[in-house]
Amino acid sequence: MAGKNIYLIGFMGAGKTTVGKELAKKTGYVFIDLDEYIVEKTGETIPAIFEKHGEEEFRRLEKVSLAELTESGCIIATGGGIVESQESVSLMKEKGFTVYLESPFNTLYDRIKEDTNRPLTAQGAAALSARFNHRLPLYEQAEYTVHTEKLGVDEIVEMICRRYDG
């Protein structure tokens, strides 16, 4: 089974990595976490990239890294801000199937608020909520949305598999 890629998009804490790993097991596709790919490529942690080079440089690295991952048959868990680059959104739609893992902001914030590996959490709830609301219409352009809040990982994976046409 090696069709087009499946790109998991959504805000921080949406479960993209968790769902992506299980989806890869179910489909036999290769799983790639875009943030981990960037860490391996640069030799720096995400917080270090933000601290030394800023968010703009991280977004550039994200866009370049996404473009490098052109092999088909991959599940790619993207960073929450990938949708802010129209170039990246176009590439994902050209190369695969975009799935938005949707949850309400309060649920997501509860999951991420103490995660020190997420540099943007230091901004606090109000700033993150504004960022979430800014990105929401961008996420909603995905080809498929899964409302994940009351679902387990296996249920989410099943829903994606039923909808994905390879």
The model carries a pTM of: 0.92
Structure tokens at 9: 């998009």
* Contact by Cβ (8 Å): 44, 56: no
What region does 163 belong to: left with phi over 0, alpha with psi -120 to 50, or beta? alpha
Query: For the residues 144-157, what does the mean pLDDT come to?
Result: 96
Summarised one tens digit per residue, pLDDT across range 28-80 is 999 999 999 999 999 999 889 988 998 899 989 999 999 998 777 899 999 99
Summarised one tens digit per residue, pLDDT across range 106-134 is 999 988 877 766 766 777 788 889 999 99
